[in-house]
Amino acid sequence: MTLSRRVSLNTAGQIGGRLYSSTLALLITALLLPRPLGEHDFGIFTFHLTLYQLLAGVLDFGAGTIVVREASRDRARAGRLIGMLVRQKAAIAAGGIVLLAGCALWFEGATLRGLLACLAALHLLAHAPSGAAAIFAVDMAFLRPVLAGAIGQTAWLTATLVMLSAGVREPAAYLLAFGAGIVVNGALSFAWAARRVDIRWRSTRAERRALWEEAWPAGVSMSMAAVYFSIDGVMLRPMLGAEAVAHYGAAYRFMGFVLMVPVLFSQVVFPVFSRLWAGGAARLAPFFQHALAVLGSIGLLFPALVWLVSRDLLRLFYPPGYEVAARSLSVLSLSIVLVYLAYPHVLTLLAAGEQRLMMRISVAGAALNIVLNLAAIPLLGIEGAAWTTVITEAFVLACAAAAVRRRTGLRLAWGALRRAAVCAGLSALALALLLARIDPERHALRVAAGLAVGLLAALATGALPPHLGADEGGPLPAQAPGSGSPSRDGPPPPPGRQPRA
């Protein structure tokens, strides 16, 4: 099987599983909860859920990326590295629980709501065992983690439906239902990973220190990325109130749904980036260019198409009143292509061992985002938060692209996106003409028209199925001896900073 085909199948499988999970999440957060809770209480639920997800994304503090990178180069070290990863995530999760509990008590007081939010925060501990699923990324075998995520999301839906049928109207109680899904996901991920690799818990202080030294810059980078990606939803509550959080969260949730494509694609291809980089920048160049072209071609289609049906999306999925977020959703759609183009640059920097450089970019992006939000939210409301997101993502893309160009000499061949740009323009024109003939109140039909035009445009770009270029240069660089079997050998050496190519 060629590399392009393997990546395509793994990405398609991941997207299929995530599509199921994301559809359930959208069902819960758009169709099931907003109506019985009302805008104020749903805003409270969204506020705490945003905090939970912000912390959950940084629990490994960069160690997950380093573990995947190092184990992709030497599979024999995977068991020891994963053991250290799980322990580190558990330690950071304990600190995160304290932080979440403090926020819950600060905003909700020592009430039943505050105590339920504190109890729900314990679900962070369940993210620690799921760190063992890094072995599936190393082996580019994603069926089990996809299945674990789908089952966990089903558990969240089931717990939510049980509470709704019992007439529960306390928003903090539904945070417990969310946490139940994470617990199921973590338990399954760990159990299945343990069958694939011998997870070793004992490690030396030198090994842990070496992993930490490699990981913490990536951890700071990921933490700052989580800040500039999610902090506006947190800042809105003290500045504009819980209703603004609910409205902006509705718009932002659609953007998060769309961003699953580059996220999952990156999970599949990061081990390939790491192995190709071992052969130098010239070895990575074709794969880098094709990955950029694939993601850029798909990302270019979203802004105009989402802009045209933003009001219909909100009216279709949310109760009346949420359409006030339509302009924010339209603005947020501009950032989609920026994020799609940023991912291959970030992966290249991480594969090249440039965590510290990526850290500086992310810290600057987070600082810019916070400053802009402080100025834009009071002036423009939730639309100001949306414009802040667009500006921040443009800044991060520009910095990451410049860093990759200086570090490796790689840059995007813009001509590769010419066909996609033409397809994006024609599809936007076609959709605008089509929507002009559809009743403005037939929201489902208008959204279906947008999806159909977008799918046809994606096929017309030639980006699907993806051709990623690495097949042209022969096989990937070989992994170290023992890379084809679980790590049951002696203790591996600690991870070290990779030499520059």
| DSSP symbols for 305-347 | HHHHHHHHHHHHHS-TTGGGGHHHHHHHHHHHHHHHHHHHHHH
Q: Residue 246: CB partners within 8 Å, gap ≥ 6?
A: 34, 39, 40, 42, 43, 46, 322
How much of the chain, in percent, has pLDDT values that exceed 90? 38
Task: Give the pLDDT band of residue 372 (cuts 50, 70, 90).
Answer: very high
Indicate the angle between helix axes 382-408 and 242-258, nearest 10 degrees: 40
Query: How confident is the model over 458-466, as a mean pLDDT?
Result: 75
pLDDT score for 490: 33
Q: Which of 48-57, 393-402, 482-491 has the lowest mean pLDDT?
A: 482-491
Q: Where do the structural domains in the chain lie, given as residue ranges?
A: 1-198, 211-470
How much of the chain, in percent, has pLDDT values that exceed 70? 89
pTM, 2 dp: 0.71
Query: How confident is the model over 104-112, as a mean pLDDT?
Result: 91
The tens digit of pLDDT for each residue in 421-447 reads: 999 999 999 999 999 999 999 999 999
The tens digit of pLDDT for each residue in 189-213 reads: 999 999 988 888 888 888 888 887 8
Mean pLDDT score of the chain, rounded to an integer?
83
Query: How confident is the model over 212-221, as a mean pLDDT?
Result: 77
Query: How confident is the model over 464-471, as a mean pLDDT?
Result: 56
pLDDT score for 362: 87
The tens digit of pLDDT for each residue in 271-284 reads: 788 788 878 888 88
Task: Give the pLDDT band of residue 10 (cuts 50, 70, 90).
Answer: low
CA distance 58 to 253: 19
pLDDT score for 467: 60
Q: Which of 231-235, 245-249, 490-494 has the highest mean pLDDT?
A: 245-249
Q: Residue 417 pLDDT > 90, yes or no?
A: no
Q: Residue 419: CB partners within 8 Å, gap ≥ 6?
A: 297, 461, 462
The neighbour count for residue 98, using CB atoms within 10 Å, is: 11
pLDDT score for 278: 79
